[in-house]
A = this chain, B = another copy of it.
Amino acid sequence: MLGAGFGGLTFCQHFRHPSARVTLVDRTNHHLFQPLLYQVAASGLSAPDIAQPIRSILRRRNVVVLLDKVVDFDLANKRVLLEMTTQSYDYLVLALGGCTSYFGHPEWEQFAPGLKTLDDALRIRSRVLLAFEKAETVCDPEVRQKLMTIVIVGGGPTGVELAGSFAELARTVLRREFRRIDPGQARIILIEAAPVVLSHLPPDLAQSALRQLRNLGVQVRTSTRVKEIRQGEVELNDGEVIQAENILWAAGVSASPLTQRLGVELDKAGRVKVNADLSLPGHPEVFAIGDLALVLQKNGKPVPGVSPAAMQMARHVARIIDDELTPGAGRAQRSPFKYRDKGTMATIGRSAAVAMIGRLKMSGWFAWLAWLFVHLIFLIGFRNKLFVLMQWTYSYFMYRRSARIITYLPPELDAASRAPR
């Protein structure tokens, strides 16, 4: 079992074959509740609030948890090469998740970080908070304007959530605390190539999201493409150049590059074109689930890269392997995976969100409550649910952010931070 995201964890929780030995490998020691990662970046939550040690989640399961990095696969000999050891397997489940994709512009990463790991989030938090602090010390209005500008590329759920929460951070939380600048004047610019944000939603919901974002003071540029990203500036296809201390990339996700080492057919995003039962073509003992797997639905669209899909796939694979290991049961025909869409939602800010559950469409306050509710239910671990709920209640009523701490300093400042004042 590789990867302790939603897929990997769900598998370990549902696969209970008594005689089977399960080993779970992940390169971090924690399961990350990715849907709330943007809250850490926007200093609404602290890192431990949305992450739990994998070991403590699985401590009652018969699972060996290893912190290690996958280096390569040896499917022929049923072995996985890790950085520190080599693991043999009878069954292999790949749930390595995705990573930020720059559409053939890897050089943009250094100027426009993506948001995938806790480290990403803490780095973004520190850079954004630091920019406002710098703005308070400088006098040149142009420099100040640049420091107080955040450009977010990509109007998908992540981009929308980041834009909304940074807009709130500047307009409500920071507003009263600076003497020389007015954080309310901060520019939050969201750039989306499509004519609407959240283009996976029905038009009316997408429009409502757009309205709600603008109400928060976010400048949304739809039908706009990024031509070039340089240190501290973004060039748009219409030639305009925006000076921004912080540029965040929320435009593209692709499967872990490790899929290229599997030697099977991939799609453009690097996802494995799996069989109907989620196994690898030619390798019935190897499965790929979550953001790694390309599965087509009846309507021809691929199953979206969302956590419910990953969890459903994990349960499907757990059932298959469990059946095949049960003596006597014999190798029955494996059933194909069917994705059940539980709906989709995105939050924009304080009592602002859009949601579609089945046929039910919601926006504004109701959608926001629904979003809160659903995310709390799925947030792993008793403690986290409780604490996160309290933090939200607190910041909702007090207009405060509890995690506005600059810890993860960019290298050039990190040295300074360790030197004495």
| A→B interface (CB under 8 Å) | 2-3, 26-30, 46-49, 51, 53, 55-56, 59, 63-70, 83-85, 96-99, 117-120, 122, 129-130, 133-134, 136-138, 174, 176-180, 256-258, 383, 387, 390-391, 394, 400, 402-409, 414, 416-421
Q: From B66, B120, B404, give the contact of A418 (CB < 8 A).
A: B120
| Max chain B C-beta neighbours (<10 A), residue from A26, A416, A421 | A421
B28 & A400 in contact (Cβ 8 Å cutoff): no
Rounded to whole angstroms, the CA-CA distance of A407 and B49 in the bound complex is: 13
A420 to B48, CA, bound (A): 21
A96 contacts B405, CB within 8 Å? no
Taking CB atoms, residues of chain B closer than 8 Å to A408 are 407-408
* Cβ contacts under 8 Å, A404 to chain B: 29-30, 48, 53, 56
Q: Report the bound CA distance from A86 to B306 in whole Å.
A: 51
Complex-state Cα separation, A414 to B408, whole angstroms:
12
A53 to chain B, nearest CB (A): 5
At the interface, is chain A mostly helix, strand, loop or mixed?
A: mixed
User: In whole angstroms, what is the CA distance A391 to B402 when docked?
Assistant: 15
Contact across chains for B122 and A407 when beta carbons are under 8 A apart: yes
**Extra 17 A-B pairs, beta carbons < 8 Å, given A67-B133, A99-B420:** A2-B421, A27-B416, A29-B405, A48-B403, A56-B404, A64-B179, A64-B180, A65-B136, A65-B177, A65-B179, A66-B137, A67-B134, A68-B137, A96-B420, A258-B420, A383-B400, A387-B387
- How far apart are the CA atoms of A55 and B404 in the complex, in Å? 10
Chain B residues with CB below 8 A from A49, complex form: 46
Residues of B contacting A130 with CB < 8 Å? 29, 67
**What is the bound-complex CA distance between A26 and B130, given in angstroms?**
13
Are B84 and A421 in contact (CB-based, < 8 A)?
no
Q: Bound state CA distance, A387 and B390, in angstroms? A: 9
* Interfacial chain B residues near A383, Cβ < 8 Å: 394, 400, 402
Q: Inside 8 A of A96's CB, which chain B residues have their CB? A: 420-421
* A418-B48 contact in complex given A29-B133, A176-B59, A383-B402, C-beta closer than 8 Å: no
- Cβ-defined partner of A177 (8 Å) among B55, B134, B137: B55
Q: Closest CB-CB distance, A181 to chain B, in whole Å?
A: 11
In contact, A69 and B133 (Cβ under 8 angstroms) = no
Of B174, B176, B421, the residue contacting A97 (CB under 8 A) is: B421
Q: Which 10 A-B pairs have the closest CB atoms?
A: A67-B133, A55-B177, A99-B420, A48-B403, A256-B420, A46-B46, A46-B48, A53-B404, A96-B421, A59-B177
Q: In the complex the two chains form, is B53's CB within 8 Å of A85's CB?
A: no
Please indicate the chain B residues that have their CB under 8 angstroms from the CB of A63 in the complex. 179
